[in-house]
Structure 1
Amino acid sequence: MNARQAMKALLAAGTAGAALSVAPVASAQAQGQATAQTAALDTGEIVVTARRRAESLQDVPVAVSAFSSEDLDMRGAPDLTALQYTAPNMTLQVARGSNSTLIAFIRGVGQQDPLWGFEPGVGLYVDDVYIARPQGAVLDIFDVERIEVLRGPQGTLYGRNTIGGAVKYVTRRLGSEPNFKARVAYGTYDQKELVLSGDVPLNDVISVGGALAVYKRDGYGKNLLTGAEHYNKDVVSGRLSVEITPSENFFIRIAADRTDDDSNARHGHREVASLLPGSDVLDDVYDTRAGIGDDNEVITKGVSMLMEWNVNDAVMLKSITAYREGRTDTDIDFDSTPLPILDIPAYYKDDQFTQEFQVLYTGNRLQAVAGLFFLDGTAAGAFDTVLGAANLSILTSGSVDTKSYAAFADVSYDITDRLSLSLGGRYTRDEKEGEVFRATYLGIRSPVFGNPNAIFLEQRTDYSRKRSFEEFTPRIGLNYDFTDDLMGYVSYSRGFKSGGFDMRGDAVATPQTVEGYDPEIVDSYEAGLKGSFFDHRLMLNFAAFYADYKGQQVTTQVPIPDGTNIASFVDNVGSSRIWGLELEGRVVVTPNFSASWAVGYTNAKFKEFLFYDLGSKQYIDVADTRVFQNTPKWNGNLTLTYTRDLGDGSTITLTQSTAYRSGYHMFEVASPQLDQKKFALVDLSLVWASASNRWQVGVHGKNLTDKKYRIGGYNFPDDLYGNSVTAFYGPPLTVTGTVEYRF
């Protein structure tokens, strides 16, 4: 039995024994790091592990935002997407037509297309375990220690597919004493939530812990055709873990998790009417008349093992082993009408095995981390493109097998007491094998999706091909302490996102699709200042960046001229430049009142955008007519917090937050019918905590002005596709009451 098979068997045993659905893998931070973090918390210092070792947020020469569990609780943050309104220059959205698939962009770099085989541009890590696929990645926030957002390429330490940045979800370590926490919530749209977590030491060596979360909510709207809830939530999550400390220098953690998302399929709101029955523009943006159905299920699960050995005071060895798998069965109604004008029944499945070894060194003037990384993953799926007006269905199916190998090192050396130099590099090699099949059938749905009477008409694509991609991604930085409380830094880093194969590729319309597409490369230059002033009552962090972006992978889907098919191609469209500014701050005005803010500016422009014209069979440069998607030029947040002691030791905390985003585009081609104009969201939370801190009661209001804003869409305006211009919207005004008890 190899390592991958062993982890898969452990996953089956762990999730079966738990009889739970669970949230993503939770391993532990390094034992030495945990000690440093505990000491730091006692002084109010924010500690992060952005460079794979524990450091003060104000000392690390990286643009990083950190959010503690207490801060997230006070804001009533429900899931990862809430962070986009508090961290600058970041977009985290629920993918169009999805309930739990994550779309992430940082500083204009990301990936909107969640189809199997495509690589994300922002890396997601749960306790140092890389989550390769976006399905099931909209993580609910519970039992978390902190979340870190690293902006800019993180290719040296975090590797492939972190060219935009990385998001680190860090869970809590088990305690040395038994503890338990229960949280219940009830809110608008009949929202009902239950979160239970706890851990207990069995003896001086072994501790066990777990968490269970149940999220239920009616829909913000209705499917007016079927009567089903639309934009509802039905999720069960959980986690089991065992920590073993046979000596003070050795630590092991094994964790298993699973998430079941049975929320109904999410369909779009028609932004444009047509002559089709049921295609009028509905008054409520959360309503639909989709006829494809409401079934949807997403299951993700995983197991991980972390081992740490403190060889001596200076050297630690770490091993992180993990296996994950997922399955999505869904129906997407692109036209959002009762008729099958443009319907997409689909399933996705994936699995991944990862192994990472690290050596960490901490000396008087030298700090270093080096390691090896291996990934063995498969992503596969199938879907029909049902063109009801032509009585045709296009079956697309395939898979991509990926093996990724990497070696990395990052060294920081204190040249003087104030000047430090950091050097790093990572070599990555990806080996991929893609299989793509595409065929046209006469009839509504193909045999794969329930129509055995469909008549095979034409094979469009059928190939298997291998490609390999490799890149060295260096990083160099200098940081200087102007004073004990003011640090400046400059850095250069390179990011690499792997190439691949277009799973929708039509070899008849675009024969070159069998060659696949090349990697993306980002060269990023950054300068920043981090300072604390007035006895640390004022904190200011500033960053300016410039990025040279080459080979950007863009998915384009257009009608084939004869009107019987849709051609898809993924092109390395050319090059672009991105520059911007970021400012984050916090000021303690009085012991009871504080304010925090974040402002981001991104200026992104294509220098070259090569578009394949199906008519002329030529590439043409259309850079002047293309825009960046999911990248507002301006974004910002202002949060005001007031805490009052009620006299008996209990406290009440009022948190008001206003987030602003300027207009942004859904795709590379501007669309006035879909693109979102500037908007602001206003949130308000009121939390009471008992003197013992065992009881906590809160009321959290989100989007208090009930702003309607788009977070995604589909744009198929042709008559053959029913003029299907549909949009997906962010949550409306909601109010949630919470009660929490700890002991």
Structure 2
Amino acid sequence: MSTRLLLVSTALAPVLIASFAAPSYAGTAEEAVAAAAEAEAEPTADGAIVVTARRRAETAQDVPIAISVVGGDQIDNTGAFNVGRLQQLAPTVQFYSSNPRNSAVNIRGLGAPYGLTNDGIEQGVGIYVDDVYYARVASATLDFLDVAQIEILRGPQGTLYGKNTTAGALNITTNQPTFDFEGKAELSIGNLDFKQAKAAISGPLSDTLAARVAISATSRRGTIYNVTTNRWIQSQDNIGLRGQLLWKPTDALSVTLVGDWNKQDAVCCGSVFVRTGATQRPLARQFDALAAAQNYVPVSTNPYDRLSDTDANLNAGNELGGVALRVKWDIGPGTLTSVTAWRYWDWLPENDRDFTGLPVVTKSQNPSQQNQYTQELRYNYSGDRFDFVLGGFAFHQRIDTQGTEQHGPASSRWTINPTNELSNDPTVLDGLTARNTQYLKNTSVAAFGQLSWKVTDQFTIQPGARINYDKKDGFYQRLVFAGDGSAVTRALTDPVSRARLDVFGPQEYAPSFSDWNFSYDLTANYKVTPDILVYATYAKTFKSGGINQNGVPNDSTGQPALGAQTIRPESVNHYEAGLKTEFWDRRATFNLSIFRTDIKDYQANVNNGQFGVLRGYLANAGKVRTQGVEADFSIRPSERFNAYLNSAYTDAKYVKFVDAPCAPELSGGTTVGEGQTPSPPGTPSGLSPANCDISGQRLPGVSKWAFSFGAEVNAPSSLFGRDGEFYLGYDGSYRSNFSSNATPSAYTWVKGYLLSNVRAGFRADEGFEAYVWVRNLFDKDYIDQLFVGPGSTGLITGLPGDPRTWGGTIKVSF
């Protein structure tokens, strides 16, 4: 057992032992029940949703922030069991993932740059679970565990949350320990061998001590069949455990100890052949010719056959866990909150980076280990005219990565120019190996605060400020070895060594970055009537500068270009105005927001076309702008019917990016010289620009139009002697087309698609629910993400979205 898992187990042990040894329930004070149950995570008696977005309990309609709230029941009913599925319910959320490490959550097109993950920068969207910041988006690929609700906050949130977030935040609240004995269990089965089980139990151990334990397990056969290994890939195999102890000695003090452990062990992650597109490489070096030279034919040219022939081992071992201590102490008119947390993340991947069934790249793996420590301290005050939050936050992260990339016997013919006789010698590149060693030490401290001044009963001014210090120190080393184990260095000048150095170049550097930043925001809101709120916000904020942790370009002497080892902070100006309304005796809600965000020195991901020269690095683009309109409407005319429609128009583009990497159709040729003009796109043996001006083009991963909508109708009845209701529900989502490459390309536009999910079942008044469900009802063929193959060969691969799935779920509670 690893040391980190032992620490989590030690924290969980008293919770588990106490929970299973607890008496059935002897009764405690009613007021302790109400306090410990964290009622702010539940709807009020009139159906209003209570949130803690501003670090105090208030209804969502009273918060002058663009916010979407997804309840635990809606998460379960729609199958949105992780952040990737959440985007079907929240149009402004974008999620993309080629594997758990290379995952990103964006809001309104902003957050993290599209492409390979680089540990040297911050995520623009913060993920918080019960006040604990999760630095790794890999956690987004794991199952939600015992979630009460999720608040999706759009726009900068740095004056309210510990870690600075320029694009928004996901504030996830789990169910808390209770002083009433209660429990619930849920079992789902479906096609593709889908199985999911969830359970939670909560109750008192004494008059002042309560415990809660929750567990979740999900497994499913993969959706792509690998004919080379005779295995289904893209499977699901998740398990999670969460334990909590609540000590409440007085009404004014509560102390919660939390431990969690999550593991993912899927056969993942691969892709399928989608198409080829002409590049400016010589024809003999483009995909069709290279494949024919080795008698290779893709197993299928139809991506929706869901067939793959990748020949390298695939694995996505992903383990996360941690321990947190949360203390809340009511001091006079305010509450002092301390959140101390440690989290770890272990990543053990295996990939096939040539995307083919040929042994070109036979090994590609970058296992890494993270330890993260956070401490947040804040004081919330509520008064007649003034409310405020004052807080401090400290963060330290250490990430160690050990990479191995290796080429195989098919690499020489695939990688070396056919005009070079070395291309016919498989031993030149067979066994060529790069070993990468890197680490990152990331430290951040901040002080933040926000004041709400109720100038009148209707008008409130809300200024906020944040001061932040960030420091990042890193190390990167790449050593290269031939198949016989001998070192390949830049001092070697023979033709074989030069061919090897064109694939893997040794490199070593130690980047460092540090800086102070000050940011602020101002919101004004006015209650036109008790059911109509208007607000306007301006925020001047930033995203911390970073370091390149995956290598940098070489200069003309073959040495690392040290000027590229760090990137500047993003400078963000954000403007927003909104309207929140309730009408028809609060049976209907309509919210509207318009926004614009301007970013200077946008942190973009620049990908290199070759296999191993440089996988990708970060650079500052000139300017980026995203703007749009969002509207949310819901209606509940009676207990028998409810419906919703959420919509977003997002116009996100590069305002100025004059030295961007070029699209595949403009890559692979001879670089233009002075006075020369680049060849038209897709011209074999053409002249390629050194870089491209993509100013005015759309940001990747962003659909201009996105909608989520649904309705549920029910009728009172009984089943097996239980009173309740039969119901029929529908949930749909639509996204228009989007670019699946950092630089828009004619080959990487993903078509828009509409998905439909339905469910029908019986919900008892107490303790029981059973329903059947179908997701992607019409078996829509769609692509989640496209990838540009390495080497400017014109290969485009992709990940098809889930086919139609169906099954049933039974829930019981007591």
What is the TM-score when the length of structure 1 is the normalising length?
A: 0.90
- Structure 1 residue runs of 5 or longer lacking an equivalent are 1-5, 21-29, 448-453
Q: Distance between the aligned counterparts of 1:488 and 1:519, measured in 2?
A: 32
Residue 334 of structure 1, CA deviation:
2.6
Does 2:623 align with 1:575? yes
Is 2:477 the partner of 1:437?
yes
Q: Which residue of 2 aligns with 1:463?
A: 509
Kept after mapping to 2: 8 A contact 1:702/1:733: yes
Pick from 330, 334, 340: which aligns with 1:321? 340
User: Structure 1 residues 387 and 38 mapped into 2: Cα distance closer, same or farther (>3 Å)?
Assistant: closer
Once residues 484 and 712 of structure 2 are traced to their aligned partners in structure 1, the CA distance between those partners, rounded to angstroms, is 56
Residue deviations 1:511-532, cap 9 Å, x none? 1355411112221100000000
Match of 1:298 in 2: 318
Distance 1:727 1:513, change over 3 A: farther
The alignment status of 1:669 with 2:743, answered yes or no, reads yes
Structure 2 residue 597 is the aligned partner of structure 1 residue 551: no
SS at match of 2:40: helix
Change (3 A) 1:634 1:394: same
> What does 1:353-364 align with in structure 2 at a 5 Å threshold?
353-364=373-384
Structure 1 residue identity aligned to 2:478: R
Q: Which amino acid letter does the alignment assign opposite residue 566 of structure 2? A: G
Q: Could you tell me how far 1:545 is from its partner in structure 2?
A: 0.3
In the alignment, is the contact (CA less than 8 A) between 1:268 and 1:333 conserved in 2?
no
Equivalent AA in structure 2 for residue 570 of structure 1: L
Residues 640-660 of structure 1 deviation map (CA, whole Å, 9 limit, x = unaligned):
111211156211221111211
Match of 1:681 among 755, 766, 791: 755
Q: CA, structure 1 residues 167+430, in 2 after alignment: closer, same or farther (shift >3 Å)?
A: same
- Cα distance change, pair 235–122 in 1 and its aligned pair in 2 (3 A): same
**What secondary structure does 2:84 align onto?**
helix
Instruction: Report Cα offsets for 1:691-735 as digits up to 9, x if no partner.
Output: 3x211112121111112222223213536xx65421112211111
The structure-2 alpha-carbon separation of the partners of 1:52 and 1:19, relative to structure 1 and needing over 3 Å to count, comes to closer
Partner of 2:111: 110
Distance 1:529 1:13, change over 3 A: same
Change over 3 Å in CA distance of 1:38–1:119 after alignment to 2: closer
User: Equivalences for 1:328-477 in 2 at 5 Å?
Assistant: 328-342=347-361, 343-388=363-408, 389-390=411-412, 391=429, 392-443=432-483, 460-477=506-523
Q: 1:61-85 CA distances to partner (integer Å, 9 max, x unpaired)?
A: 0000001112223333222222212
Task: Name the residue aligned to 2:537.
Answer: 491
Q: Distance in 1 between matches of 2:58 and 2:308?
A: 49
Question: Is structure 2 residue 198 aligned with structure 1 residue 148?
Answer: no
Contact 2:151 2:170 (8 Å CA) reproduced: yes
CA distance in 2, matches of 1:243, 1:123: 26
Which region of structure 1 is more displaced relative to structure 2, 592-601 or 603-612? 603-612
Residue identity in the other structure for 1:108: G
The alpha carbon displacement at 1:137 in A equals: 2.4
Whether the 8 Å contact between 1:160 and 1:498 is mirrored in structure 2 is no
Aligned residue identity for 2:595? F
- Please tell me whether the aligned partners of residues 159 and 428 of structure 1 are also in contact (alpha carbons under 8 angstroms): no
Instruction: Give me the whole-angstrom Cα distance separating, in 1, the residues matched to 2:755 and 2:483.
Output: 46
C-alpha distance 8-385 of structure 1, shift in aligned 2 (>3 A): closer
Query: Aligned equivalents of 2:196 and 2:100: distance in 1?
Result: 17
Given the alignment of the two structures, is residue 696 of structure 1 paired with residue 769 of structure 2, yes or no? yes
Contact 2:101 2:117 in 1 (8 A): no
- Asked if 1:260 corresponds to 2:239, the answer is no
Greater displacement, 142-151 / 389-398? 389-398
Query: Residues 39 and 286 from structure 1, CA distance in 2 versus in 1: closer, same or farther, beyond 3 angstroms?
Result: closer
Q: What count of residue pairs does the alignment treat as equivalent?
A: 716
- Residue 90 of structure 1 is matched in structure 2 by 93
- Give the counterpart of 1:529 among 564, 572, 579: 579
Task: Give the alignment of 1:112-151 within 5 angstroms.
Answer: 112=114, 113-151=116-154
Q: Which moved more, 1:605-614 or 1:548-557?
A: 605-614
Deviations 1:359-397 (A, max 9, x none): 110001111110100001012213334454141433333
User: Which secondary structure state, in structure 2, belongs to the residue aligned with residue 271 of structure 1?
Assistant: strand
How far has the Cα of 1:8 moved from its partner?
Answer: 9.3
Cα displacement (A) at 1:414: 0.5
1-structure distance, mates of 2:178, 2:190: 31
- SS for the counterpart of 1:109 is coil
Give the letter aligned to residue 106 of structure 2: F
Aligned to 2:727, which of 653, 656, 675? 653
Alpha-carbon distance change, 665 to 701 in structure 1, aligned in 2, over 3 angstroms? same
Q: Which amino acid aligns with 2:335?
A: M
Give 1:282 deviation, angstroms: 4.5
- The aligned counterpart of 2:21 is none
8 A Cα contact 1:396 1:503, kept in partner: no
For 1:531, the aligned partner's letter is T
Query: Deviations 1:185-226 (Å, cap 9, x if unpaired)?
Result: 100101112112101211111111111111111111221111
Matched residue type, 2:202: D
Equivalent residues in 2 for 1:724-739, closer than 5 Å: 724-739=795-810
Q: Does 1:168 align with 2:175?
A: no
Q: Post-superposition shift, 1:142?
A: 3.7
CA 1:589–1:40 in structure 2 vs 1: closer, same or farther (change >3 Å)? closer
Kept in 1, the 8 Å contact 2:15–2:213? The answer is: no
Q: Residue 338 of structure 2 aligns to which amino acid in structure 1?
A: S
Q: 1:461 deviation in Å? A: 1.9
Contact 1:317 1:357 in 2 (8 A): yes
Alpha-carbon spacing, 1:232–1:566, altered in 2? closer, same or farther (3 Å)? same
Residue 574 to residue 239, structure 1, CA distance change in 2 (3 Å): same
- The offset of 1:16, in angstroms, is 6.9
Q: Separation in 2 of the partners of 1:127 and 1:368? A: 20
Q: Which residue of 2 aligns with 1:517?
A: 567
Aligned counterparts of 1:369 and 1:242: Cα–Cα separation in 2: 26
Aligned-pair distance for 1:88? 2.8
Give the residue type in structure 2 aligned to 1:55: E
SS in 1 for 2:629: strand
Distance 1:135 1:119, change over 3 A: same
Task: Check whether the contact 1:354–1:374 (CA below 8 A) recurs between aligned residues.
Answer: yes
Match of 2:778 in 1: 705
SS in 2 for 1:58: helix
Q: 1:75 to 1:687 in 2, by over 3 A?
A: farther
Aligned twin of 1:271: 274
**Cα displacement (A) at 1:265:** 2.0
1:441-472 CA-partner distances (Å, limit 9, x unpaired): 3239999xxxxxx9997863212232102211
Give, in whole Å, the separation in 1 of the partners of 2:474 and 2:374: 20
The equivalent of 2:643 in structure 1 is 595
Question: How far apart are the structure 2 equivalents of 1:355 and 1:588?
Answer: 42
Give the match for residue 202 of structure 2.
199
Give the strand-richer structure, 1 or 2. Answer: 1
Unaligned runs of 5+ in 2: 18-32, 277-287, 413-428, 488-495, 662-670, 675-688
Q: Which amino acid aligns with 2:753?
A: F
- Max radius of gyration: which structure? 2
Structure 1 pair 12/143, CA: closer, same or farther in 2 (3 Å)? closer
% of aligned pairs identical? Answer: 27
Query: Does residue 14 in structure 1 map to residue 34 in structure 2?
Result: no
Where 2:514 maps in the other structure, the secondary structure is: strand
